[in-house]
Structure 1
Amino acid sequence: MEENGDHENVLSDPFDPEFDDSHNDTINTDEEEPPLEPRFKYERLKGEDTMTFMKTATFTSIDLHDKFIAVGTATGLIYILDHNGYGDFNSVPPLKPHRCAVSKVKFDETGSYVLSCANDSKLVVSGVGNDKLCCTVNIQVMPKSVYFAPDFIRQQSGHCFIMGERNLMLYEKKLFQYKAMTLYSGSERDGFIHCCSWNDNFIAFTNDTGTRVYERGPEKIITSVQASHDVDRVRSSRSPPKHMWMPDNNLVIGWADTVTILKIRDDHGVRRGEVHHIFHVSMFICGISYIPESIGKHMELFLVGLQLEGEDFDDCASMISTVTTLTAMESSATPILKTCVIRPLGLKEYELQSEDVIENIRLSHHTLPYMIHGLGIPYLDTYFILTTKQIILAVPYGPVDNIKWKLKYKLYEEAFETAKIYADLLAKTELSQKKVGRLIIEGYLDGKRARAAAYWLPKICGESKEEWEWAVDKFEEAKVCTLLAEVLPDVKPTLDAASYEKVLLACLFNNPELFRRLVQTWSPDLYMTNTIIDRTQWRIQQISKSGEIKDIEKTEKILLESLAHLYLYERKYESALKILMSCQDRQIFNVIDKHQLFDLVKDQITDLMHIDSELALRLLLNNADSVEPSFVMEKIGRQPKLQLAYLTKLMSRNEGMEFADKAVQLYAEYEPRKLLPFLRKNANYNVNKARKLCADKKMVEETIYLLAKCGNHYDAVKMMVREYGNIEKVIAYCKDQNDPDLWIHLLGVVAEFPSHFSQLIIEASNCLDPLLIMDKLPIDVDIPNLSEALEKLLTDYTNHAELKQCCYESQLADVTALSKGLLSSAARATEVNMFTKCSLCDQIINNSTHETGKKFTEIKVFKCGHIFHMSCTSSESFKADRRQSIEEGICIACSDKMDKNNV
């Protein structure tokens, strides 16, 4: 079993002057976790005030119909009332079928008749506005239970009903009287049948040995369920069983502290019962019903019961140990009337959905379970509880009750969701979605949970301007307006300026950083900037004078930056720039760019450089038209590093070439690594000055580069040899120059360094005559690896000579082969046969005359295979240059083809 807590539900008393319907519930403030949510509220019937008998009568039994309530009393009267407790006794007067207390009363399915029994040994069928089937059956025993057949009123049905005492008897009308038939015979030890019920063809009845189900038709008992509690201790006369039939032939049996759910199954025409659930609850069951929406997988049962005050038990074992006999309930312990909604889970497990304790009812210390009756009409969501003096109506919680309870236990999220779901229904009530939202916000603020309240504002206020402004006022009263900064909308809706000003001023005095962020992000159209400027200035002065803040400088800087933005909104640019400059705020550059304020700060370039040199340089370059480079260089004359940075940016845009010499000087002084790339990239500096500067600073690579740039390769090579000590770089330099004289000069220089001469011999062998190299060999100097170098030199020279000779011979052979081919081609004959045609007129060469009668005499034959009539080339339409080409031995057909291919 799973339980989460109890809920005490105070019965509403409209006649109590202190009664307030809005406070139905009491809570235990010591509990951190709220109790289970109630499912019902409890109230007396409205007719209690006008029906005088209800104030004096002692009620003993009750039954429900979807139209009426039948209430039996200790005086033998039966009152027929509507569901509100009103009765029309002129039309349907109180029935008086018995001379003693009415034990049981039952409606038929149509509500036309009432069946009752009492200890006067009578079974009485009384009519409700109908007397056709009214009758009285005298018996020899005192009946304990009665029930109508489902088709009692139908003709030809026999108008049957059943009665339970020790035996279960069926009474069927035969002509003018009822005939009794015994369906079950019980012995004395079996006890009385205190409960019986009839559904379809199934009759269920319970005595001390258990519950049996009898099937009409086969006329036999199809199943039996034994009691799971100690019947000897909990006698049926004091805690009688209760039956309830649910759809699909499900029978629920409530007896003592046990609930049993039995399902009648049909296996190929054979009916049998199966116990699906059997479990114990912590009270003596006095009534049972179900929640109609829960039928199926999540079935829920509504139970009414009694429990002794201070005696809390969870199962049957603890109940037996606490209450040894039911007579103990007649002690000084006060009985408690309870209801609960449970959901069966497994065979012996259930989940408690809600649990209510009904207070403010008159229960004596001698109240026993058989004196309480609970039953309902599930499909009408109507449930009644009968005590000896009162009739209580259990009404399911509506949206209003549900929201009130959730608000009471601070279940704000659930309350608001319920209000949203039933927004249309609750629109004109005191718990509309709008009012519930306000109650939630006030609840959080009263509970010192302002952050939670702020979190809920967007959901509750939505796009309602009125609600947002109300919330701002509430947060201001609670002095937590700073929390609104994250949630307050600036569009959809846009609030009055006063709302935004309240938040800004709260942040100004309590959270300067948040104030600055709001000033920077909120549109100035949302509030009166003049008001905020005045308050900000006053706050800065106050901080400076009072010294109330630990980090005064930091706070002042934050507020000054905020003030600068406010000045910008007011277009007071000079004041804003002055503040940003004094605060060394890098945002000044964005402000200058955005509002085109460079003219206001061009005289303060040095100060801008101190704030951020990179951004300052970018600013200067973007506004190059507004300020001359010479002016900038003059302003930052005492800051060479800034000059260098400025010139670097300037020259990257191919500007400021007049400061090239100055750039060389600054690079050499402060960025020597970048000097050589600058020298190579730029050509506007004085080479000689740069060379002298680099030489004075002993910058070898730069000096060598500048020497080479001046054309002084000899000195460059000499310096490279002496400074580098690495002959490979020198050799590479000489190869780039491709100057034989430079190689000779290099040989002379390297002669002073014998260790490099051997390598130079090898490298220069491809560029100089070996004899010239040999001539430059130093005399009387020990040169390492000389023999190997000379051997390599001679080998390379020999290979070079052989390669040259081979190339000459190969070229000569190629010329010879081509000449022979040309001569052979020239000696080849050109075939002329009877089908050969002129390449100009396309007529056969051997024809003596043309179609026009023109005679052909001479022909011109080319080695390419083209043949021409000379008479065709001498015609007036033939161009002179083409005729000249043929006479000179040039085939014009091949020439035309070649020209066409070129095109």
Structure 2
Amino acid sequence: MEEANDREIEPDNGHVNNGGNEFYNAVFDDSNQEDISFNFDEDEEPPLEPRFKYERLEGEHTLPFLKTATFTSIDIHDKFIAIGTASGLIYILDHHGYGNFDSVPPLKPHRCAVSRVKFDETGSYVLSCANDSKLVVSGVGTDKLCCTVNITVMPKSIAFSPDFIRQQSGHCFIMGERNLVLYEKTFFQYKANNLYSGSERDGFIHCCSWNDNFIAFTNDTGTRVYERGPERIVTSVQPSHDVDRVRSSRSPPKHLWMPENNLVIGWADTVTILKIRDDGGVRKGEVHHIFHVSMFICGISYIPENGIENVELFLVGLQLEGEDFDDCASVISTVTTLTAMESTACTTVLKTSVIRPLGLKDFELQSEDVIESIRLSSHTLPYMIHGLGIPYLATYFILTTKQIIIAVPYGPEDGIRWRLQYKLYDEAFEMAKHHADLLVKTDLSQKSVGRKIIEGYLSNKQARVAASYLPHICGDCKEEWEWAVGQFHDAKMSTLLADVLPDSSPTLNSESYETVLIACLFNNPKQFRKLVQTWSPDLYKTSLIIDKTQWRIQQISRSGESGDVDEVEKILMDTLAHLYLYERKYENALKILMSCQDFQIFNVIDKHQLFDLVKDQITELMNINSERALRLLLDNADSVEPAFVMEKIGRQPKLQLAYLTKLMSRNEGTEFADKAVQLYADHDKKKLLPFLRKNANYNVNKARRLCSDRGFVEETIYLLAKSGNHFDAVKMMVREYKNIEKVIAYCKDQNDPDLWVHLLGVVAEFPAHFSQLIIEASNCLDPLLIMDKLPDDADIPNLSEALEKLLMDYTNHADLQKCCYESTLNDLSVLTQNLLQASDESVPVTLMTRCSLCSQIIMASNQELGRKLTDIKVFKCGHVFHLACSTSEIDRRHSIEDGICISCSDNSDSVNV
């Protein structure tokens, strides 16, 4: 897609936005915008991120003699750097390249170029060798163990013992030529002891190293590890490259001892990692990794950050460009003179690599840097370059013949700049965020990096991606959001901010929101409507947006186009209605919603209580949505009379019916019951019968005539039954249904014998149903009456079976009555006998029995009562009285006959009351 299609509509110079925003041309374009990227191909991976930056040592520029010296060897210690030169001098410098030559003057141990130089573990002594057949131990600020050992060969490699400076350790060091020789200090001189004797075909020992009790050395036949104590060779590793093609003199091997007795051997273009392990007290060597790299190794160190299991190796080497790698190996093998080297077409490049070993022959390249600032001559060979490091200080040194380069890890600023350069914006911002406190006062602070990312995406035509980054970059910073709005406005991509611009936390100035709204108004009306509906009107000037929207609608109307323009105009009208609502111009808003027949008008009326403004437009509301209009009318029943509504919708009977249905479901509008019956009969017959059953306010006779005239059978039968005219209802049911079961069920519900008699007369006209009726009515009517109603001249199917059933039912009924009568007599006899038996039982009178009237003991002595024993009266009910008490009580109560228990009489009277 072209750039013009991505951008928003250009401003119309004839209309200026007072709020600082521009209007756009009237041409509407709602096409999907696509991002255009001019980055590198997405399928093409970015280069590996550098792990180090390379700088010249600071002190190198301040020491004049270093500018003219030719460097031949180097060794580093935690405190110093020792540099050997072609003139035989050794300079002791600090890690920044500065030397205190008053305290530690340059050493002059040799008359020719220093080929090797080594520190002891304490940094107190330097061991050096050269082609002058001397081994020299020089002190750094001390001379106690300084010595010179003259030999008859030219040494190729040297190494101190780890405990060289310790008393009674022998102060040993080793030298490698064809043989590996151990030198141990005796009382007057150093004593030589051959640890390994090599033949002429084995070549020279170009590298040796000493770690703990293990001495590693390498000649053309491979690398061997010698163990002190047992004095034996523990293991031997053959070279994995062609030593005849790549001569060790031009690409010598390099050793690196890592923790846990891991030996890394870098030789030519191969790397081998050997582990010395203890197997039952016997030391053995195991090759864990062996792989080829695309350069000739000049130095090797490691990065201990990930632990020994996932160690990363730091390699320094030369790569010859312009020929195949095998041809480059041939060049190193055959070149012997400067003229021959210059005649080749190869270009020498100094590079570093960080690799992580994986499997036996696999590794992962973590980074690869070409040090372009170092110009090497075409005759530079690997032995002229040296690379060493101090892993725990994360500092690495590279020595060429003329320069000393220090490699230090990338800092946050370097990493961010590299990521920005290759448009790795995610990683750049995360790094800036992670190191925010460190970078706050730099030009790569989180704020600055965020702005660079947005500007980068916008300049590369990736505005949509830039918009998606804004929430992460701007966060809660009001200033950054407002800056981003300005950038997108300048790029004419403000519509992309619609989905990401915050409306709270933070809240921006009104111009920012107005910029986005106006951009959407002219480029994306649907988005414009969404923003107006979701954004609070307090965020922007609603009067300004109303003016712009009105002008835009007029512009579209004048265009005279159809199709999409009509839809756009409708969207903008709907949005304008919402804006009027925000301004409390309710009449204008309702007028627009009514003209657009927008369903949202009901929500607006309910929310703002605007029914009084539309109660005269009930018909229009019904046309928009009858269900919501009816509910609106019912919710505002106090504001409008049902008669008024019925009058307004008098020409729309279906709306009248819907209105009455809703009204009567609330037990209102009883005066329109007859009208409802008529409307149901005309427009919704299925609901007529349920209405007739549920409602009781209509005129039954009028409704019956209406249903009868229209031939509504069920409704007419129901109304006949409701009006009490059961005979006509039964007659109609028999004639219309022709199904005697419904009629019989109806008669059973009424439980009227006369109705059954009437039914017999009606069914007589339908002999086919008479047999069933005889069976059903046998329990309700006298069989003689049923027999009397039998038609004489009709052929009644199954009559004999029906009569047999009738007689059997009657016989069973008679038998049942007889059994019940006999059972009653038996029960009466048993109850009578029980009564008589109970009446014949004696009534016990004991010494403790009390009179039921005076409550005194009946059998009391004279002393207790103060009177003589009196006669007593006993009743069958169990009550006992003194005769005197009962006589006086009976005299008091004239209504109680003598012989009736006074207590039982009292209980009976109370029950009757």
Both structures adopt the same fold (TM-score exceeding 0.5): yes
Q: Which of 331, 344, 352 lines up with 1:339 in the alignment?
A: 352
Structure 2 counterparts to residues 6-405 of structure 1, below 5 A: 32-311=44-323, 331-405=344-418
The AA in structure 2 aligned to 1:443 is: G
Question: Are 2:322 and 2:345, in contact at CA under 8 Å, matched by a contact in 1?
Answer: no
Q: Which of 601, 608, 614 lines up with 2:627 in the alignment?
A: 614
Secondary structure of 2:67 counterpart: helix
Give the whole-Å Cα distance in 1 for the aligned partners of 2:391 and 2:884: 128
The answer on 1:471 being equivalent to 2:484 is: yes
Give the whole-Å Cα distance in 2 for the aligned partners of 1:868 and 1:36: 127
Question: Are 1:46 and 1:86, in contact at CA under 8 Å, matched by a contact in 2?
Answer: yes
Q: Deviations over 1:154-190 (max 9, x none)?
A: 3333322211111112222223432222222222122
Q: Deviations over 1:180-234 (max 9, x none)?
A: 2222222212211111111122221111122122222333322222222222222
Question: Are 2:247 and 2:333, in contact at CA under 8 Å, matched by a contact in 1?
Answer: no
Structure 2 counterparts to residues 598-747 of structure 1, below 5 A: 598-747=611-760
The answer on 1:418 being equivalent to 2:468 is: no
Q: 1:557: how far off?
A: 0.9
Q: Deviations over 1:581-616 (max 9, x none)?
A: 001011111111111111000000000000010000
Q: Residues 860, 136 of structure 1: CA spacing in aligned structure 2 closer, same or farther, 3 A cutoff?
A: farther
Question: Are 1:850 and 1:856, in contact at CA under 8 Å, matched by a contact in 2?
Answer: no
Q: Deviations over 1:642-662 (max 9, x none)?
A: 011111111111111011111
Give the whole-Å Cα distance in 2 for the aligned partners of 1:839 and 1:700: 76
The equivalent of 2:420 in structure 1 is 407
Question: Are 1:76 and 1:102, in contact at CA under 8 Å, matched by a contact in 2?
Answer: yes
Q: 1:359: how far off?
A: 1.3
Give the whole-Å Cα distance in 2 for the aligned partners of 1:518 and 1:860: 108
Q: 1:377: how far off?
A: 0.5
Q: Residues 830, 72 of structure 1: CA spacing in aligned structure 2 closer, same or farther, 3 A cutoff?
A: same
Question: Are 1:48 and 1:85, in contact at CA under 8 Å, matched by a contact in 2?
Answer: yes
Give the whole-Å Cα distance in 2 for the aligned partners of 1:559 and 1:282: 66
Q: 1:382: how far off?
A: 0.5
Q: Deviations over 1:756-780 (max 9, x none)?
A: 2222222222211111111112222
Q: Residues 884, 92 of structure 1: CA spacing in aligned structure 2 closer, same or farther, 3 A cutoff?
A: farther
Secondary structure of 1:626 counterpart: coil
Secondary structure of 1:85 counterpart: coil
Q: 1:853: how far off?
A: 4.3
Give the whole-Å Cα distance in 2 for the aligned partners of 1:87 and 1:298: 37
Q: Which of 570, 573, 590 lines up with 1:560 in the alignment?
A: 573
Give the whole-Å Cα distance in 1 for the aligned partners of 2:286 and 2:422: 42
Secondary structure of 2:498 counterpart: helix
Q: 1:835: how far off?
A: 6.2
Structure with the bigger RCO (C-alpha within 8 Å, sep 6+) is: 2
Give the whole-Å Cα distance in 1 for the aligned partners of 2:906 and 2:311: 107
Question: Are 2:851 and 2:881, in contact at CA under 8 Å, matched by a contact in 1?
Answer: yes
Q: 1:495: how far off?
A: 1.0
Q: 1:550: how far off?
A: 4.4
The AA in structure 2 aligned to 1:270 is: V
Question: Are 1:362 and 1:389, in contact at CA under 8 Å, matched by a contact in 2?
Answer: no
Q: Residues 95, 550 of structure 1: CA spacing in aligned structure 2 closer, same or farther, 3 A cutoff?
A: farther
The equivalent of 1:527 in structure 2 is 540
TM-score (norm: length of structure 2)? 0.90
The AA in structure 2 aligned to 1:405 is: W
Q: Deviations over 1:482-522 (max 9, x none)?
A: 22222221111111111111111111111111111111111
The equivalent of 1:462 in structure 2 is 475
Q: Which of 466, 487, 496 lines up with 2:509 in the alignment?
A: 496
Q: 1:452: how far off?
A: 2.2
Question: Are 2:247 and 2:332, in contact at CA under 8 Å, matched by a contact in 1?
Answer: no
Give the whole-Å Cα distance in 1 for the aligned partners of 2:863 and 2:333: 150
Aligned residues: 866
Q: 1:480: how far off?
A: 2.1
Q: Residues 840, 526 of structure 1: CA spacing in aligned structure 2 closer, same or farther, 3 A cutoff?
A: farther
Report percent identity of matched pairs.
77
150-159 or 743-752: which moved more? 150-159
The equivalent of 2:817 in structure 1 is 804
The equivalent of 1:777 in structure 2 is 790
263-272 or 552-561: which moved more? 263-272
742-751 or 494-503: which moved more? 742-751
Q: Which of 781, 796, 801 lines up with 1:788 in the alignment?
A: 801
The equivalent of 1:12 in structure 2 is none
Give the whole-Å Cα distance in 1 for the aligned partners of 2:42 and 2:650: 78
Q: Deviations over 1:245-274 (max 9, x none)?
A: 111221111111121112222334333322
294-303 or 554-563: which moved more? 294-303
Q: 1:801: how far off?
A: 1.5
Q: Residues 482, 28 of structure 1: CA spacing in aligned structure 2 closer, same or farther, 3 A cutoff?
A: closer
The AA in structure 1 aligned to 2:168 is: Q
Gaps of 5+ in 1: 1-26
Q: Residues 36, 722 of structure 1: CA spacing in aligned structure 2 closer, same or farther, 3 A cutoff?
A: same
Q: Deviations over 1:259-296 (max 9, x none)?
A: 11122223343333222222222211111000021222
Gaps of 5+ in 2: 1-38
Give the whole-Å Cα distance in 2 for the aligned partners of 1:71 and 1:640: 110
Secondary structure of 1:787 counterpart: helix
Give the whole-Å Cα distance in 2 for the aligned partners of 1:193 and 1:893: 144
Give the whole-Å Cα distance in 1 for the aligned partners of 2:454 and 2:209: 53
Give the whole-Å Cα distance in 2 for the aligned partners of 1:718 and 1:29: 93
The answer on 1:751 being equivalent to 2:764 is: yes
TM-score (norm: length of structure 1)? 0.91
Q: Which of 425, 435, 445 lines up with 2:458 in the alignment?
A: 445
Give the whole-Å Cα distance in 2 for the aligned partners of 1:247 and 1:556: 77
Q: Residues 97, 773 of structure 1: CA spacing in aligned structure 2 closer, same or farther, 3 A cutoff?
A: same
Give the whole-Å Cα distance in 1 for the aligned partners of 2:353 and 2:200: 35
Question: Are 1:644 and 1:667, in contact at CA under 8 Å, matched by a contact in 2?
Answer: yes
Secondary structure of 1:561 counterpart: helix
Give the whole-Å Cα distance in 1 for the aligned partners of 2:883 and 2:71: 150
Give the whole-Å Cα distance in 1 for the aligned partners of 2:386 and 2:797: 127
Give the whole-Å Cα distance in 1 for the aligned partners of 2:243 and 2:395: 32
886-895 or 638-647: which moved more? 886-895
Question: Are 1:238 and 1:326, in contact at CA under 8 Å, matched by a contact in 2?
Answer: no
- RMSD of Structure 2 on Structure 1 (CA): 2.8
Q: Deviations over 1:378-425 (max 9, x none)?
A: 111100111112111111111111122222222222222222221111
Q: 1:103: how far off?
A: 0.2
Give the whole-Å Cα distance in 1 for the aligned partners of 2:854 and 2:422: 118
The AA in structure 2 aligned to 1:267 is: D
Secondary structure of 1:97 counterpart: coil
The AA in structure 2 aligned to 1:667 is: Y
Question: Are 2:259 and 2:308, in contact at CA under 8 Å, matched by a contact in 1?
Answer: no
